[in-house]
Structure 1
Amino acid sequence: MNAVTAPLGVLVVDDEAPARERLRDLLGDIAAQQPTRIVGMAANGHEALRLIEAQPVDLMLVDIRMPGMDGIELAQHVARLAAPPRIVFVTAYDQYAVDAFELNAIDYLLKPVRAQRLEAAIAKVRASMPVARDSLDRIAEPRRHFSVSERGRIALIPVTDVLFLKAELKYVTARTVEREYLLDESLVQLEQEFPERFVRIHRNCLIARAAVAGFERDEAAEHWLVRICGFDEKLPVSRRQWPAVRAALLGNEPGSGVK
């Protein structure tokens, strides 16, 4: 069997069992034209990531609207893998049918999925078009998790657990109360993605608004320090950033939280 007709390993991801079963049946219906084999059925994004770690996956058929981790966020995490599977989105909500889904890398199927349309999508996948990570970032809502590759596995860190983000050489360190994680992302991109959650206090540091316990003056260094909830380390605020930090975190109450 040549590479064109070799079965693709497919992971079906949908929070509704009937939808998963329909896709499984449709794949069987078009097997003569587009051979596939089901390698897993997942009810949510977290379960899908565990299955991807356990076995090779060529193609993911992913619902967009799912609780806990939606399909777009799942695709963002998958795109960071060394050899990411191809992704075809499947959803009942046609408002997601925007120009970004017309990119060669990603197809978009509207429920109820028709066999002919699914066959065409798999044909596009066989052209070995890579997932475009930048297009996912443009159309996605802010992520709920950061993804980190550790010992060949994907570790998910809830964004709400991160106290601050600090640029370290070509990586960004995400600090939680328990430990540090290395993110292969830029501080600028993270600042743009999470403007409501993180505030820049220094050229190499963003701090979570919710993590700020207050400020105190470092008279020796002649700058302000941020006190962090549940964390002993205090972070310096650059002179350049202090007016913006003060406005963002203290508003019109100059004395609030400052000693």
Structure 2
Amino acid sequence: MTTLTVLIVDDEPLARLRLKALVQACGEPRCEVMAEAGNAAQALAWLIEHPCDLVLLDVQMPGQSGMRFAAELKRLPRLPAVVFVTAHADHALEAFELDAADYLTKPVRRERLQAALQRVALRLGRYETLPAEVPALVVSERGRVLRVPLADVLYLKAELKYVTLRTAERSYLLDDSLTELEPRLGDRFLRIHRNALVARSAVRALVRGSQPGEADEAGEGWAVQVAPVDEWLSVSRRQLAAVREAIEAGKW
């Protein structure tokens, strides 16, 4: 595949420096940081003259916010993909409404950034076929065998004889059990219930009380909100402490 060209937009020089180093440390897909900007005005001026594939964008900056800037980018002749990189987790739903490719919270882990870069490469059609280096789950559908990147998986939930694999766009059915799947998923996923594994990056809230769907049915009183599909999954009493610990440690 060709190299992804990247613009980093953040008002903090040290944050830009760290993010640039992380991008360069990611092996697949190949990326090149073409420029940096400290605010939206600088970024827009550069983009008008230098189209690129991806903007890694902070949310809270002096002047125009990252959210408003992302909306303004839609007027460009060549629209870059946007991945938000921010210390604030409460703008995630708005980010996905703007069709952001991903939403990363600081401090960003290299593995999490690489998953976001892989999602961008897939969205831009840079992979003719999904490389073996990209972690994926194999699914069968209507006689076809597909590889679904782990970066796109929001959760896996056991239902009757099958496991439902959910992405932002659609659902797939797997024959494998959650017990068989869990060791292949790595630390990107956390078991929240005997019947559910959720991607850490997809969790937006842990709430006690009555929530739509799953929490009410299970009657266990706790649920996590999954973005960008805005669905709720039950958290069992047995897994509640681990889920709380992951959130408090910033491991989402």
Q: TM-score, normalised by structure 1?
A: 0.45
Q: TM-score, normalised by structure 2?
A: 0.47
Larger Rg computed on CA atoms: 1
Greater helix share, 1 or 2? 2
